[in-house]
Chain A
Amino acid sequence: MKPTNISDPNYFHKVVDCQWACPAHTDVPKYIRLIAQGEFSDAYMVNRESNVFPGILGRVCDRPCEPACRRTRVEDKPVAICRLKRVASDHRDDITARLPKPPSKMNGKKIALIGAGCASLTVANDLLPLGYDVTIFEALGTTGGLMRTNIPQFRLPPKVLNEEIQYILDMGADLKLNHRIESLKDFREKNNFDAIFVGTGAPKGKELNLPGRYDSKNVHIGIEWLESVAFEHIDKIGKDVLIIGVGNTAMDCCRTSLRLGAKNVKVMARKPREFFKASDWELEDAEEENVEIIVNHSPKEFVVKNGKLIGMLFEEIKYQINDDGKIESSDVIGEKIIECDDVILAIGQDNAFPWIERDLGIEFDKWDCPIVDEVTMMCSLDGVFFGGDSAFGPKNIIWAVAHGHEAAISIHKYCSQENLEERLPPGMNLTSQKMGLHEWSYSNDYDGSERRLMPHVDLKKRFKQLNIEVELGFTLDQTVKEVERCLNCDIQTVFAANLCIECDACIDVCPVDCLTITENGDEKDLRTRLTAPAENLEEDLYVSEELPQTARVMVKDEDLCVHCGLCAERCPTGAWDMQKSTILLPKAKDEAESSPLKKVSNI
């Protein structure tokens, strides 16, 4: 193998598994260290830099970071990254003075954001400080989009939502509520915006067209029902409720039902548990509230008698699952009616663009979704950008934020008449963390503590009102323990081959056998010849230049390294060093600072 190019920012970025997995690339280890130091406001600001809504995401993020956490590869459970984010948010001081401010002079460019959800708000957050005149058009009477309408208040209190949205609006966005855009064509003709961003989400719940569907008023579509609950148009439901589907929306529907008077809620799944779409923790939270999850039942018919829904007919299915865990075949082994008063359909959601005329020059794909460039977020019509669920279908908040950042860069470049494709590359700083003999700037001792469990409001209390937040947040003791579980993956092991005397000290001391000095070879061969075979192909091998004494190479399997720094501590020549990688991912403001136009105007 060729020596690893560690000056490529992506190499070390990938080692920081959580940051790499986060669509917005939040610098997780950095903010966890700040929490450990009690610097909650700083931790909040580090979060805000990349994910904009730390308070919201600290409660309801889909947490792609956690399954990626390195800790899951050396023991069971990941660091409670999301919960720690909430700690930073809950304990921060007033940070309003630290927020970006719009310049005194605007740049004269007008931007329209359609939809006041997380994607649009992120674009506003990035563009307002650059002097853009930003107008947000929202169909509903309130901001937040699906964050407000679809996430129940017992998971995300309105106070948290309002506060973080207000930070952005206070930068000077012009908010037009109750302002549904019925026609993009009209909108473009009547207004004169320099760019339009569409962040309208995926607002249409999927239908289940089975016999009896429209014979009763007691069949609801999940996201519409949740929205009605959020706006207090619905405040009760029957005693027995069936939820069809096992995604995260289904979990919100079943738990909301319990708070509106349901006594007996069943979540009906077509497939076995391992095929569920809901996140594990959302399933656990629902089951804690005694929601029954019934597997292998496929809906067949809504049973309606005399205009009243009395139950639902299901087929019971038996699946043959092969060794790879995939379903090979299925058989219907019986039928069963399950009685109920209401049915809520939570089987997915779709994009819907009835308001975009198909002759504007925006190309749509076969699923009737606009074709959007994955880098620039622009569609085939110049100056029209998409982000969030409206771009590539339902994902989650953190993806919408990531899209928003990229769209903001594109909008800025578009308005500056720069090439959208020529974006600033990511950068990286490496700084040694050595403070003295055996002294590092981070807590390098491995803490074997188990993941802390989130304390919940007592089961008896929590159903009294719809808006009692169930999760209480980590206590001080829990926080102190949990921060120590972070392995500081951004403190990288950096190797200088020219200093190595091949004494093997690092190899001997490594607790997880990730180092080897051996003859070079191709990757496939090398992976089998290491101290411990490197079987996780997703993780790279770090291969050094030839070593001075024997011309062999040092190979590090990045897979299991716990970043304890013992290799560097035991190295007599300083060939290994622990260096913090700071990954610099350009945002719109960085593009603005490097913009040639700006440089000219500065002269």
Chain B
Amino acid sequence: MLVVFNIIRIHNLISNTPTFIERGTVNVEYARALQQALSVNLTQVATIVIVGVGMTLVVATGGIDLSVGAVMAIAGQIAPLIFLGPIADRFGMGVANFLALTVPIAVAAGFGLMNGLMVTKLRFQPIIATLVVFIGGRGIAQVLTNGYLQPFKNPSFQYIALGRPLGIPTQVYIMFAVVLLALFLVRRTAFGRYVLAIGGNERAARLAGVPVGRVKTLVYVISGALAGIAGLIVVAINAASDANLNGMNMELDAIAATAVGGTPLTGGHANIVGTLLGALLIQLVRYSLISIGVPYEFALVVNAFIILLAVYFQRQRAA
């Protein structure tokens, strides 16, 4: 897992902003940096929340989805291929952008379907099934463009990340839309009840006529599609698709947000709002640490510790 490149990149970004520890006093630059960190925080948290919501649904059925990062990379790689390619020339930019926003998500959902079928039909353990896509998926994303970066400038496509209706980034709208939809799904629909029933007692659910296989497959499809959306957002922010970096470590962040948000990893509960708060908390801790001069890398250690605590307390409560 290529954690590191990402971290180094962010590390450089942060060490380029003047550091505070050397000056020893809180000053204007500190305040500016803090503000910057917080805005980075909210935009960064959007993709984690979007993917985390899918993860929460999968975890609620008692599964896990390791493939989200790789699926993000695939989706992110496909979009520029569409609007930079012959489709744009032949059918115009409007059609190309439409396809660039839909096809990658459909492909991502397709990978989710693959995960789901491996779990339900081939009866792989979820961790193994999604590990297959985790390993192979990023390779596929890289192969699509031979591993090369695809830089682009496409304001209408990038609107999904950089647009600011009412001064708020579009991705934040998307994030809240996903959260609300998921809340609706869990609380109001039969599907939501099925998800919780399966995670809570699969045998009982089956005997109550719950279509266990279909529901399980569908949560992986949803998780895949949401990862696809997140992948597009990342690409749009960066104005370039990078199969090596897009979605790197996203599975860790999403699992962390889910666990910290109070969804037990053993299934049966889906705390969507918790996942939102969990992602915010993790990012907040991370950036607070950075802003007081703790090196960014240490955030990983803190992140690990937060998950350990969350899992530990979950077990305590269950006992």
A binds B: no
Contact surface of A with B, Cβ cutoff 8 Å: none
